[in-house]
Amino acid sequence: MAHTHHISVLTAVGLLLAGCVSNPQVPSSAGALMGSLTALGTGSAMSPMTAAGAAGGGNLIELLAQSVQNISEPQEIEIGRHLSAILLGSKPLHKDTALQVYVNNLGRWISLQSPRPNLPWTFLVLDDGGFNAFAAPGGYVFVTKGLVDAARNEAELAGVLAHEITHVVEKHHLKSLNKTAQAALAGQLLASQVRGGIGSFVASQLLSMGKELYSKGLDRDDEYEADRQGVTLAARAGLDPFGLPSLLQTLASAKPDNPNYSLVLATHPPTQQRIDTIEAAMGSRFDAYASAKPVPIGARLHNVVTPPAPKAASPATSPPKKNTPVKPVAKS
């Protein structure tokens, strides 16, 4: 299972690096990006949104406006593919294939411990010196090279990935789109697109809504929830849950006028409030998770150490023991 996905990720990264993001600023590249992203997960040749439109089914904008619960998992994954194209349209993938495979393996390992392990989870590194991470519905997670470089060890990177995984699991992006769609329909701002069907919506309005979503960020309560559940998820995957609070300390020390941190600071709650909220939620229950020997990302990339193993129970119910043996990831 892990071996097969390892190969598919290498293939997908190769496709993206071979030309799909060679000119990421050109909007017309979105079609090629969609094709490449399709190869990353479900293997479904037909777009659920296109299929619904062809069959005369419900309109997606109306579906989003009514209830997130009415969106099927295939539709959620398809929405995520289109939102991922927006992210890939602004920044290309980093060309270090070994780094891409490592981040994907680490992210997938953590996602397998989540309540939604069967999503087509995909983790990629954007060639961007800024400090940020993004997720899209259906299991698509992106981190910038700048964030990877800022992470002092694997636990800090894992904390960010677990945070983003929680956003997907809890459907935070879909809920945000639901609010936007309701407001748009109420003001009849999308009347022509609604009458025009799903195809025109995907081509224009999802692009607009996606850009707005990633520029303004999610609700603060969603961010706090992702922090709280993220540390639990990291611990469940056998990783030090103090990684995320540690990385937030780095963010807290960043100068507000530093352009590498401006977007993440603008789209998230005040960093010190996030740290205080996590510390209050963790208390002393996670002390048994703390690692005495943080693993440098460089050491992992050079196969000096092996990846972590999952804990038998959630920290919310039973704290795990220290120094649990780790489980290796299959190599191609």
| Residue type, position 155, single letter | A
In which band, very low, low, confident or very high, does the pLDDT at 26 lie, cut at 50, 70 and 90?
A: very low
Q: How confident is the model at residue 315, as a pLDDT?
A: 55
168 vs 122: CA distance, rounded Å: 12
C-alpha separations of 66 from 54, 177, 178, 182, 331 in Å: 21, 11, 7, 8, 45
Query: Highest mean pLDDT: which of 52-56, 179-183, 222-226, 320-324?
Result: 222-226
Strands across the sheet containing 133-136 = 122-126, 140-144, 133-136
Q: What is the pLDDT of residue 22?
A: 27
**Helix (H/G/I), strand (E/B), else coil: 108:** helix
In whole angstroms, give the CA distance from residue 328 to residue 277. 34
Nearest to 213 by CA among 273, 165, 263: 263
Q: Is the pLDDT of residue 130 over 80?
A: yes
The confidence band for 189, taking pLDDT boundaries of 50, 70 and 90, is low
Q: What's the 3-state SS for 87-101?
A: HHHHCCECCCHHHHH
Q: Considering only 159-168, 210-219, 235-244, which range has the smallest mean pLDDT?
A: 210-219
Rounded percentage of the chain residues whose pLDDT exceeds 90: 51
pLDDT at position 147 over 80: yes
